[in-house]
Structure formats: structure tokens, C-alpha cells
Amino acid sequence: QVPLVESGGGLVHVGDSLRLSCASSGRTFSSYYMGWFRQAPGKEREFVARINWSGAGTYYADSVKGRFTISRDNAKNTSYLQISTLKPEDTAIYYCAAGNWAQGTLEWHYWGQGTQVTVSS
């Protein structure tokens, strides 16, 4: 099991920056890819970013490239999502997930409860 708890969300203004955290109490955190997803009101959940086991490899959705940065600290069992220059369309519930590759597919096995980010103009 990889329990995940997100934090760092809140009400922010356009142009602000925010750092979301995803903490795990599991002892196998470093053996999982970590990912961030978001779900805006009335929309399906979408992929935002992922990071490999060591933190050396990252991948982003085109819609967030240049503004979002994913990172991890395996010593602290925590993943981060730094968001800069926030826009109203970034308003969503942000979820972190832990997963691994299986038969060529990155499967997300564990999910946090989500943290709300609301961007006010």
C-alpha cells in the first residue's frame, strides 16, 4: 500500500505561484513513478505530469509545459508540483498518484484524496 495525502491547495489569484505536496507514509515510495492529475468542474480527470523513480525523468502534458514542475524527494517520501503563473483554467482538484509500468503501460495503482486549487481573477 502507498497511502498518499495531497496538500498545498487553496484560493489564489491569477499570476500567483503555488506548490502542491503529496506525502506518503509507505516504505516503498521510491519504487513508484509519481504522477499528478487534475479534474476541473464538469470535466474528466486529466494527466498533468509524471516523474520516474529517481526523479531524473519527467514528462508533462502539453497544456502545462513551462509552467508546471514536478519533483520528488525520496528521503521525505514526498512528491511536489510547482505551479507558476496560475490561470483561471488551472482551477481544479489536483490528485497525486503512484504507479508503475506493466506490459508497456504505466498503471496508476494508488491515489490521494485530492486538493482543491481555485484561481481567482
pLDDT in tens, 6-20: 999 999 999 999 999
Alpha-carbon gap, residue 42 to 23, rounded angstroms: 27
Distance CA(37)–CA(95), nearest Å, equals 5
Residue 60, pLDDT above cutoff 80? yes
Mean predicted lDDT score pLDDT of the chain? 96
- Model confidence at 55: pLDDT above 80: yes
pLDDT at 1: 78
Averaged pLDDT for residues 64-82: 97
Q: What pLDDT is recorded for position 58? A: 98
